[in-house]
Structure 1
Amino acid sequence: MARDLTIAVCQTGPIQKSAQRAETVDRLVALLERAAAAGAEIAVFPELALTTFFPRWRIDDQAE
Structure 2
Amino acid sequence: MKKLKSTVAIVLGALVVLIAFQNMASVELTLLFWTFEASRIVLIAICVVIGFFLGRITSTHKQPSQEDQ
User: Which of 1 and 2 has greater Rg?
Assistant: 2
| Relative contact order, higher structure (CA 8 A, sep 6+) | 1
Say yes or no: TM over 0.5: no
TM range, smaller chain? 0.3 to 0.5
More strand by share: 2
More helix by share: 2
TM-score (norm. length: structure 1):
0.35
